[in-house]
Chain A
Amino acid sequence: MALLTVKQLDVHYGAIHALKGLSLTVEAGQIVTLIGSNGAGKTTTLKTISSLLRPTSGDILFDGQSIVGRPTHELVRLGIAHAPEGRGIFANLTVDENLEMGAYVRRDKVGIAADRERALTLFPRLRERLTQSAGTLSGGEQQMLAIGRALLARPRLLLLDEPSLGLAPQVVRTIFDIIRDINASGTTILLVEQNAHMALGVAHFGYVLEVGQIVMADRAETLAKSDEVRKAYLGVG
């Protein structure tokens, strides 16, 4: 069953037509990736799903229900968590306070404590830095915090924007292992990436985005083998 359905989405930034009739589906329980080069509209897609941007036309269904026009802060309650690009952590808050912000809409103290524990188990580095100001973390640690924080919302759908951005290959591998773990424990993930190789390695299904349009959609392993993708995004051939 589709958890998220995006239908014929058009988004404009002033005169710029950023998304041109984009459609995609995220099946419950899967990792779906949206790959493409810089400026293809990947971040725009996630921002529109989160209602940070308003589409000019088209529809977005979450769990069968249209969420277009609903304020961003209500979507968290529905079960959508978004770890934004550039990590978007609160540098003026401590690591622990950042995690608490992730659970902002929740009231179940016991559940929050359990999820906090889970996030800290996934990212032991964060545990050592709980009382530190989040602005003092390294890039990789900030990315871990952004993902850990999103988990504290206990989302049904996790939107990840470029988790590999600017990180050393070693750290990227760690983060992708954890993305797989998170999915294995039942969270559906929509993963936006420039690093097509890593993204197609963990995803079940993939879409290729070029200047605001989906140009290919297939099972991730099929995409990884296709000539076009290998040439354009994997630097092979």
Chain B
Amino acid sequence: MAKLLQTLFDGVAVGSLYALIALGYTMVYGILQFINFAHSDIFMTGAWIAFVIAKAAGWAGGDTPIWASLVTLLGSMIFCGLLGFVIERLAYRPLRGAPRLNVLITAIGVSLFLENTGQLEVLFGTQPQRMPTLLSSEPLFRIGGVGLPLVDVVVVLVAVGLMLLLQWLVFSTRLGRAMRAVSFSIPVASLMGVNVDRVVSFTFVVGSALAAAAGFLYAMKYPGLNQPAHSTWILLGLKCFVAAVVGGIGNVRGAMLGGLLIGCVEMFGAAYLSTSLRDVYVFSILILVLLFKPTGLLGKATVEKV
């Protein structure tokens, strides 16, 4: 029973991180129909910027006030939001209307660029680092004999909070309506007076800020940060992309569902079957979904994108 609960907590915590990142893939795909391969590097940058902020402020240890985490989180989100804006502006916007393959290759280029400039000594360097402890990993309370540390609670609360915020943004605001309109048809949205470039910029800013939040939370939960060009980041990004596809690419709610599903499957597989095969479970889910429901769990042929 304790093991079951523990695994469930882990699955939900990791799954909500995956969901946050999957949202960025799915929103960009929904609007521009291309896979932003640089998204996993935004996530990496988010984690590293959190490290830089916490290090520079000299925060460490269990006595750090809670606002320190908030500052680190917001700092990382703002930085990556701007980074996403600049990337779209410089790399993707000039290719609007170009064949999709060109944009895809550019995305891979941006990804390599971020990984390798990240390794510069003046930036993050080539060595793994340890994220300072901002949140206590002592159990906050116990449920069914399982201790729930503050870190896990914060991870889930922040992730769920941000997803609710996004849900509200996309489905209940004027801007969200414009995003959905653009995702359906760029020319028709512009006939309504929507400035499409601005909506696209906004989408990149939001998606990147969510990835940064995921990066911060990931660094809180797993403080051993690999160097920027390490393959773990790519693999994590890939899993989140799988989450987006499993949920139905282009579908906001699908990305959330896909993230949680992938996170839980991975954690349960690792706990009950074999740890070394954890990545296999994730990709098996992908294969199963693609075989039986190629549009993803919540995907409808072309409807309900963003």
Query: Is there contact, CB below 8 Å, between A72 and B184?
Result: no
Give the distance to chain B from A132, nearest Cβ to Cβ, in Å: 13
| 10 further A-B pairs in the complex, CB-CB below 8 A; given A92-B304, A93-B180, A104-B194 | A73-B195, A74-B193, A76-B191, A84-B188, A88-B187, A88-B191, A90-B185, A92-B184, A133-B303, A149-B192
The residue that A90 contacts in the complex, of B174, B180, B193, B195, with Cβ under 8 A, is B180
6 pairs, CB–CB < 8 Å, chain A vs chain B: A71-B195, A73-B192, A76-B193, A77-B193, A92-B180, A100-B177
Query: Is there contact, CB below 8 Å, between A92 and B183?
Result: yes
Q: Which of B173-229 contact A (CB under 8 A)?
A: 174, 177-178, 180-181, 183-185, 187-196
Query: Is there contact, CB below 8 Å, between A101 and B181?
Result: yes
Is A102 positioned at the interface, with any CB of B under 8 Å from its CB? yes
Is B305 positioned at the interface, with any CB of A under 8 Å from its CB? yes
* Chain B contacts for A2, CB-based, 8 A: none
The B interface is mostly helix, strand or loop, or mixed, namely helix
Chain A residue at smallest Cβ distance from B185 = A88
Q: Which of A70-123 contact B (CB under 8 A)?
A: 71-74, 76-77, 81-82, 84, 88-93, 97, 100-102, 104-105
* Chain A contacts for B303, CB-based, 8 A: 91-92, 133, 135
Query: Is there contact, CB below 8 Å, between A73 and B196?
Result: yes
Number of A interface residues in the complex (CB < 8 A): 27
* Chain B contacts for A90, CB-based, 8 A: 180-181, 184-185, 188-189
* Chain A contacts for B184, CB-based, 8 A: 90-93
Is A52 positioned at the interface, with any CB of B under 8 Å from its CB? yes
* B contact residues vs A (CB 8 Å cutoff): 174, 177-178, 180-181, 183-185, 187-196, 302-305
Is A50 positioned at the interface, with any CB of B under 8 Å from its CB? yes
Complex Cα gap A89–B180 (Å): 12
* A contact residues vs B (CB 8 Å cutoff): 50, 52, 71-74, 76-77, 81-82, 84, 88-93, 97, 100-102, 104-105, 133, 135, 149, 153
Complex Cα gap A133–B195 (Å): 24
Which of the listed residues A92, A102, A135, A149 has the most CB atoms from chain B within 10 Å of its own CB? Answer: A92
Complex Cα gap A88–B181 (Å): 11
Complex Cα gap A71–B180 (Å): 20
* Chain B contacts for A77, CB-based, 8 A: 193
The residue that A71 contacts in the complex, of B174, B185, B189, B190, with Cβ under 8 A, is B190
* Chain A contacts for B185, CB-based, 8 A: 88, 90
Complex Cα gap A77–B190 (Å): 11
Query: Is there contact, CB below 8 Å, between B177 and A101?
Result: yes
Give the distance to chain A from B253, nearest Cβ to Cβ, in Å: 13
Give the distance to chain A from B80, nearest Cβ to Cβ, in Å: 28
Query: Is there contact, CB below 8 Å, between A104 and B190?
Result: no
Complex Cα gap A102–B174 (Å): 12
Chain B residue at smallest Cβ distance from A47 = B187
Complex Cα gap A100–B173 (Å): 11
Query: Is there contact, CB below 8 Å, between B305 and A92?
Result: yes
Query: Is there contact, CB below 8 Å, between A72 and B187?
Result: yes
* Chain B contacts for A91, CB-based, 8 A: 184, 302-303
Complex Cα gap A82–B303 (Å): 23
Chain B residue at smallest Cβ distance from A72 = B190
Give the distance to chain A from B250, nearest Cβ to Cβ, in Å: 10
Query: Is there contact, CB below 8 Å, between A104 and B187?
Result: no
